[in-house]
Amino acid sequence: MNLLIAAGALLAYCGLAANSVALDRHYADIHGRGKEPDARTRLRYRALGWLGIALSLAACVGANGWHSGPVLWCGVLTASAIVLTLLLQYAPHRVLRLAWIAALGALLAALALLALR
């Protein structure tokens, strides 16, 4: 169960990071001033972002059930949003790097869960 919660937190960060990079301001912070994502890149980031957030909800509900899983999910989203906000303010170039690491961590958590069953 703890692996599901960790996977949910990591997926929440990935989803929020992808959605934030789809915005012009944060994209320019990461890739250089004056740069904007094209329409396909923006759509890809948004789709990946919402997929990550939905998978995060699924992981939290899988960990605690429907009675308290959504509450856990709100807490996970809040914690991930705080981390993302601080990174966007103080180290914007690390946002995507940490998102890739978080995605890999979520994948490893899922594989560990499958191996334990």
At residue 87, the pLDDT reads 94
Per-residue pLDDT, averaged over 66-94, amounts to 95
Q: Is the pLDDT of residue 1 over 70?
A: no
Domain that holds residue 65: 2-116
Record the pTM.
0.93
Which tokens hold the place of 13? 């960060």
d(CA 51, CA 8): 12
At residue 5, the pLDDT reads 94
DSSP letter string over 38-58?
-HHHHHHHHHHHHHHHHHHHH
d(CA 75, CA 54): 15
Burial profile 40-55: b = 16 or more Cβ within 10 angstroms, e = fewer: eebeebbebbeebbeb
**What is the per-residue pLDDT across 86-117, written as a single tens digit (0 to 9) for each?**
999 999 889 999 999 999 999 999 999 889 87
User: What is the chain's mean pLDDT, rounded?
Assistant: 93
Which tokens hold the place of 78? 């809040």
Q: Is the pLDDT of residue 55 over 90?
A: yes
> What count of residues does the chain have?
117
Residue 117 in 3-state DSSP?
coil
The domain tally of the chain equals 1
